[in-house]
Amino acid sequence: MSFVEYGDTIKDGDTAIVFLGHESMFPVKVQHGTVTQTKYGVIRHSTDLIGKKYGSKVTCSKGGWVFILHPTPELWTMNLPHRTQILYSTDISIITMMLELKPGSIVCESGTGSGSLSHALIRTVAPTGHLYTVEFHQQRAEKAREEFREHGVQHLVTVTNQDVCKNGFGVSNIADAVFLDIPSPWEAIGHAKSALKAEGGRICSFSPCIEQVQRTCLAMEEYGFTEINTLEILLRVYNVRTISLQIPDLGKAAEDNSSTGFDSSNPSNQGSLCTNLQQGTVQFKSSVPLREMVGHTGYLTFATKS
């Protein structure tokens, strides 16, 4: 199992996603002899998972069923253990596009955090690219290394435990793109410039506060970056539902039409035949925005190395 090399069959040691519904799923490490409890009953790894195909419908001990999905960066973002605040697919999608990433790209990232963006970057640059990710916190860095190894992507990523503002990324003049998600990104702009290739490299900085953005933009100008621009991505989700509405009683209008010689056979009057419908209800599909929506997550500042 690998997050970038998809397989058909569930194997011992794989990380799989147990899908109970769109609002209920969780990751599980498949191990021989282990069981997983769900609200639908027990899943026995040896008999219910190992050897089955990803996407299989598995019946639990209480008669309910779940789907077992192959992990992807998108599913991992929704289910990973949170060690820090993470980036979600809305921001990740614009980051990978605006940084112009593709298979073979070299990317530097700080900080690693919970690894949400890291997994998406790894899949984007695979199979010949590489991610150099720096994490200040030692335990988070060690946990990230462990997860990358379990997910079969350790050959595509190098995790370094150091302060990027003081020590940089550990590489020079090779990166196609740099991403910063740290409290004081302006202190790392110089190191980011050193890590980027000689010309045309892209940089992105994620900051929740506009004051951070202002200082970062000033630092980018000072180090000669061009095409500096800041974006804020907001996601609005719509809920599709079935609505039943009562058909109005238009009997009085129908009687008026009869008394005035209304000709229902005339094509021009076909639209008025609805007046003959009896009192009842009609169902149709409608979409409305959710009452609550995710608001501000952060500002994305992009720039190009001149």
Whole-number Å distance between alpha carbons of 162 and 165: 9
Is 305 exposed, middle or buried (CB count within 10 Å of its CB: 0-12, 13-18, 19+)? buried
C-alpha closest to that of 247 among 288, 281, 202: 281
Query: Any binding-site annotation on 116?
Result: yes
Is 135 marked as a binding-site residue? yes
The answer on whether 41 is annotated among ligand-binding residues is no
Amino acid at 208: P
Q: Which residues pair with 131 in a beta bridge?
A: 107, 157
Handedness of CA 157, 18, 75, 25 (dihedral sign): negative
Q: Is 286 annotated as a binding residue?
A: no
**Separation of alpha carbons 182 and 205, rounded Å:** 8
Distances (CA, A) of 81 to 114, 145, 250: 7, 14, 59
Which positions make up the binding site for S-adenosyl-L-methionine? 114-117, 135, 181
Which positions make up the binding site? 114-117, 135, 181
